[in-house]
Amino acid sequence: MESKIPAHISAPNGVWLAQFLLRTNEGKALAILSAAPLAFGAWALCSCFSFTTVLLITAVSVVGSYVIARGGKVSTKVDLSGKTAIVTGGNTGIGLESVRSLAQSGARVVLACRDTKKGEAARESITKSLTGSGSVEVRELDLSSTASIRAFVQAWGQADLHILMNNAGVMFPPYSKTADGFEVQIGTNHLGHMLLTVLLLPVIKRCAARVVTVSSIGHALYPILPKKQTWAEALSPSADKYNRELQYGNSKLANILFTRSLEAKLAGSGAHAYCCHPGVVRTELGRHAPEIQKLNDTLGSILFKSPSEGAQTQLYLATDPNAKPVLFHADCVPVESAPVSYSDEAAAELWAESCKLLKIEV
């Protein structure tokens, strides 16, 4: 019997969302920034403050929110000399900054991306300022194509791998399908990374590697899933039932459930699985959402993290000896993911249905 996916937004999830925002730096920044319009409102309605006081409150709230929104930082410097890392989508945004940081720490980093021309441009920009023993090389990897993923892994062979950073992603595109017929958000964000990880499992286990998968607060932020929808249906939506926000949330929820299942399968090998919310970052990810891009252009410099700041949590999970596996992280600290992400039934169903679509057995 197929299990139902619990609703994304229920009363408990609403409570979780408020708690999550208050625990993250971006949520605290938003709360502080809200002091400005509240002060203006109080001044306009009842002259509770002088205009000078209002301006002072506004200045403090803007500066305070900017400082706090920067998020956590990697505090432990780890020498990665002799280590090898793969970063998907490493040619732009937080992926690019992750490649830069790992290489600067001494690692050999494989920048895996679909557009190798852009990848080479990114590699050149990194190597110009690179010091030490680290290096960057570009390899083609299209996560929307199982053939490309299999070719990448076949070329990798049995070479050592110490960090796999499942970073690439797409958000809110119009309805489309991958080369294998998967809806593009689920196909790229979840299925592509799952296939890559599973095919590399022998190497991951042998090298006691870390697998870091980038999720998002979006795993619980979007509309309620129909209570009768199963993972089988969520993984293969029809064009007439496609909701871009909901499907993005599905893919990010899948990242968390996948991480939990993967950690169980890595038990005893020394390898571990990690998952995180990087924060709201000024990158190209929102290119399919004009409303997000507009917000980025107006308040982004205050409330949104830079790509370097947004990469900190996944770098922390990839390198810090104290990072905790499985637990969801934001701003370099463990935080609770939404209640829906703790369903063992949903995790098991997702894994089984994904294996069917990918034609693999694990």
Is 248 labeled as catalytic in the residue annotation? yes
Report CA torsion sign: 216, 115, 83, 307. Answer: negative
Strands (E) located in the chain: 84-88, 108-113, 135-140, 163-166, 210-214, 272-277, 328-330, 333-334
- Residues 6+ positions from 3 with CB-CB distance below 8 Å: 230, 231, 345, 346, 348, 349
Find the length of the chain.
362
- Rounded Cα distance, 308 and 203, in Å: 29
Q: Residues 175, 242, 248, 274: which is the catalytic one?
A: 248
CB 285 within 8 A of CB 278: no
Task: Tell how strand 163-166 and strand 210-214 pair up.
Answer: parallel
**Which residue in the block uniquely carries the two structure tokens 């306009």?**
44
**3-state secondary structure at position 174:** coil
Residue 99 Cα to chain centre, angstroms:
15
Please state, in angstroms and as integers, the Cα–Cα distance from residue 240 to each residue in 184, 229, 235, 236, 244, following that order: 15, 15, 15, 12, 11
Q: Could you tell me which residues are beta bridge partners of residue 177?
A: 183
Euclidean distance between CA atoms 196 and 193, whole angstroms: 5
Residue 358: left (phi > 0), alpha (psi -120 to 50), or beta?
alpha
Q: Which residues are catalytic, by number? A: 248
